[in-house]
Amino acid sequence: MAPRAPATPHSAGQVLPFRQSLMAMLGMCFVVMMVAIDQTVVGTALPTVVAELKGFDLYAWVATSYLLTSVITVPIFGRLGDYYGRKPFVVSAILVFTAASALCGAADSMLFLVIARALQGIGGGMLVGTAFACIPDLFPDSYVRLRWQVMFSSAFGIANAIGPSLGGILTEYYGWRSVFYVNIPVGLLGLWFVSRHLPHLRHSDPNRKIRLDWPGALLIALALGGLQLVVELLPARGISNLTATLAAASLVAFGLLYWWERRCEQPLLPFEMFRNASLAPLFMLALLVGVSMFSLLFYAPLLLQGGFGLSPKDAGLLITPMVVCITVGSITNGRIVTRIKNPNNMLYVGFLLMCLATAGIISTHNYTPRWLIASYMLAAGLGLGFIMPNLTVFAQETAGRAHLGIATALLQSLRMVGGMVGTAVVGTMVNHSYISGVRASLDSGQALRWLDTLDDPQILVNPSAQAAFMQQVAAAGRDGASYLEAARVSLVGAIHDGQIIVLAIAILSLWFVRRVPPIRLTRRSKAASAPAE
């Protein structure tokens, strides 16, 4: 039997002294920031990447390949962390992600870059599936955990805030390859902190023989992979033979996964968690908040730049309150939730703020005061800051030590799946409404010749494309500015239509909070220790 980690009376509620806890958390914050920044800076660099490497047909796959592998690996490694302890997987994830970043920077073709991004997604999924679950390992007392979890929330907030600007600066002054190479020193720094200060804690019996559920892992990959591909292809191709086949294959894989995991002795995905009256509502809320959050993050910049004609800088300033206030909301939540009798009330407040923010976005127009738009973004950020940490802590409190990792990983996975499905559904609605509006504005047969150019709203955020369009229309004796303005009006109306779906989801989420049983946060006078190696 491995020795037990000593309890530390001077640091109640945590398994390590304060300094070592700080060093371990710093290491994980570095690598989580690395993953979060990578997801935001790559989008800024992609146009330059395509210009150099060519292969525009693989443009979307630079992002899709990463999402595909990360969504698959999050639940798998979340469960493996429960069995074997999380430190080996965190260390492996850092190595995989850092090595893949170097390969991305060295890519000499788009296909090579797509494959390297898929490898990066494996490392990112391993990190998300294990790093979040390290926090309750280190801080069994939920009161203490909420205070330390602010570090993670701050890391994500900083990463999301600086990511787009950092990507632009690195690409402009040092080339697009630097966007990937910058991960290497950050990864090595995080690796040093984690390998030295993060303990290897195991909550399962070290003498118990564990058989890996490889069929379960394969079925998870097929089910989630098929779903991801359907979501990516649906907005562009609609309901075609390919998307219908992929959807059917994904449904069959989900059915087989459910059948297999119920009969497996040591299932990778314990389905009894979804039947747990306390956990199931939290999983559903994670799915719903993913729809609201990602739809807002994705379409707010397009509304401001394409619909209102703001510059990227001005649009970024208006969106910054949302990103920053996710961190502010998390810090405020940690101070409040431990002092109120019913912690569930923070979920009500969070989803109410999301409802108000979404309703506010639907009401915005070009003449709306900028401070009012910023206040809607601020409300959305605070709402998310109240929701996301509490969903994680509540699930960890409910799941128990044996399922802690997989419960945490499932929350992250379901939020990502919600984001995927939400942006696909909202995107389909926005595209249909926008094209219909543009077609209606081009009332004459001669004007319809410009539909192929205007049917992509990206022209409204690309000044050079707009200038070329204006020259073509002027040569035909028409007023190109009026066509662009009509397209902007159509885009604003289309995004408002899409956000109505998001508002309905936010209202449903607010109503669904009532299904969450009352949560009682635990206090421990001494840390609950676990077997350590």
Per-residue pLDDT tens over the stretch 141-158: 777 777 777 777 777 767
Enter the tokens of residue 159: 């990463």
CA distances from 185 to 162, 168, 470 (A): 18, 19, 46
Banded model confidence at residue 379, pLDDT cuts 50, 70, 90: very high
- Residue 102's DSSP bridge partners are none
CB 232 within 8 A of CB 120: no
3-state SS class at 12: coil
Banded model confidence at residue 24, pLDDT cuts 50, 70, 90: confident
Banded model confidence at residue 195, pLDDT cuts 50, 70, 90: confident
How is residue 307 annotated by DSSP? I
Site of tokens 């369009």: 469
How is residue 55 annotated by DSSP? -
- Name, of 26-30, 324-328, 351-355, 387-391, the range with top average pLDDT: 351-355
Written as one string, the DSSP assignment of 453-479 is: HHTSGGGGG-HHHHHHHHHHHHHTT--
Say what the pLDDT of residue 461 is.
Answer: 72
Average pLDDT of the chain? 79
Closest CA to 89 of 53, 49, 55, 130: 130
Q: Is the pLDDT of residue 1 over 60?
A: no
CA distances from 369 to 191, 310, 366, 497 (A): 46, 13, 8, 21
pTM: 0.78
Q: Is the pLDDT of residue 236 over 70?
A: no
Closest CA to 145 of 533, 414, 402, 528: 528
Say what the pLDDT of residue 520 is.
Answer: 77
Please compute the mean of the pLDDT values over residues 478-486 and round it to a whole number. 78
Enter the tokens of residue 183: 């991960």
CB 352 within 8 A of CB 383: yes
Q: Is the pLDDT of residue 8 over 70?
A: no
Percentage with pLDDT > 70 across the chain = 84
More confident residue, 103 or 156: 103
Banded model confidence at residue 437, pLDDT cuts 50, 70, 90: confident
- Name, of 44-53, 230-239, 247-256, the range with top average pLDDT: 247-256
More confident residue, 361 or 415: 361
